[in-house]
Structure 1
C-alpha cells in the first residue's frame, strides 16, 4: 500500500504562480512514474484536488464501472478527467498551478496542502480553517468513528 498523504503544509506562491509541493508529499509521489501531481477542481468544496497519476488510473477504473455514456459516467468524467492538469515539478520541487484552478479555489499568495490519505487538497488557508471547523463539528455531532481492520465488534452485554 502506498504511503498516505498526511498533515497540513502552508507554502507561499511566487509571482509566477509556482508553489513548492511539500517534501513529504513529494516522497509519496516519487513512487509514481510521473514526477509531478495531477490536480483538478474539487466538485465538493472550493479547493483543488491533488493526487498521483496512479490514483487517477484507479479513478478511471471506478468511473468505468458505470455504464458507458450513462449520465453518471459522463458527469464524473467531465468533472474529473476533463478538468485535470498534469503538473510536473521543477528541480526545486515546485509546480505551477493553472490560473483557473487558483481562481476557483480563491488562492492568491499562500496555499495550504492538506493530506487526505490517498489524495490531498490545496486550499486558501482561511477557507481551510472554516472547512475544518465545520467538518470537526459534523464528525462530533454525528458521533463518527472508525473500526480498525480486524477489530471485533464490541459486545455491550
Structure 2
C-alpha cells in the first residue's frame, strides 16, 4: 500500500467538484472511488481507499475492541461515510454538508496522512499547522525522538515483556 504524502491546494468549482491530486490517485491504485467522512478530530474531511475502510472494518471485529469504541466508529465513521466516484478527470463531488462542516468554499487543501488523507479549508489548515508546530516544539517532538521511543518500546517487548 502506498502512502499519501504532501499537501496540495485545488480549486473547488461551483458544483462542488475538486480534483484529487494525481499522486493521491496513484496511491489509490486505479480504484475509481474513495470513502469520505467528517473527521473525528478536526473540522476537515477524512478520506481513504475502499480497501482501507475494509481493513478498519476487520479491525472492529477484534473481540478485544471495547464495545463503546466499536459503536463510536460504526456510528460516526461508517454511518457518516459517503462513497465518491472519481470522474475521468480525477475529480470528486464533495457533498454540500461535508463542505459546510469543513468550511470549504473556493479551495480545498489535500493533506497526506500516510494511509489516509484529509481535505481542509486552506486557511483553517494553515492555522492547524501553526498550532501543531507550536505543540511539537513545546513537547520537544522530532523524528529522532519518535524513532527513539519506538525503538525502546520494541526493545522492551522483545526483552521479556511477557509472562514467563
**TM-score, normalising length from structure 2?**
0.83
Alignment partner for residue 42 of structure 2, among 39, 42, 45? 45
The CA distance in 1 between the partners of 2:72 and 2:26, in whole Å, is 32
Gaps of 5+ in 1: none
Pick the structure with more helix per residue.
2
Offset at residue 68 of structure 1 (A): 8.4
- Quote the residue 2:71 is aligned against: 74
Q: Which has the larger radius of gyration?
A: 2
- Quote the residue 2:124 is aligned against: 127
Q: How many residues were matched structurally?
A: 150
**TM-score, normalising length from structure 1?**
0.87
CA RMSD of aligned residues (A): 2.3
- Quote the residue 1:3 is aligned against: 2
Offset at residue 65 of structure 1 (A): 2.4
- Quote the residue 2:162 is aligned against: none
The CA distance in 2 between the partners of 1:115 and 1:46, in whole Å, is 16
Using a 3 Å threshold, how does the CA distance of structure 1 residues 66 and 48 change in structure 2: closer, same or farther? Answer: farther
Gaps of 5+ in 2: 154-164
Q: Secondary structure at the match of 1:10?
A: strand
Residue 101, structure 1, aligned to residue 98, structure 2: yes
Using a 3 Å threshold, how does the CA distance of structure 1 residues 116 and 68 change in structure 2: closer, same or farther? Answer: closer
- Quote the residue 1:28 is aligned against: 27
Alignment partner for residue 55 of structure 1, among 48, 52, 55? 52
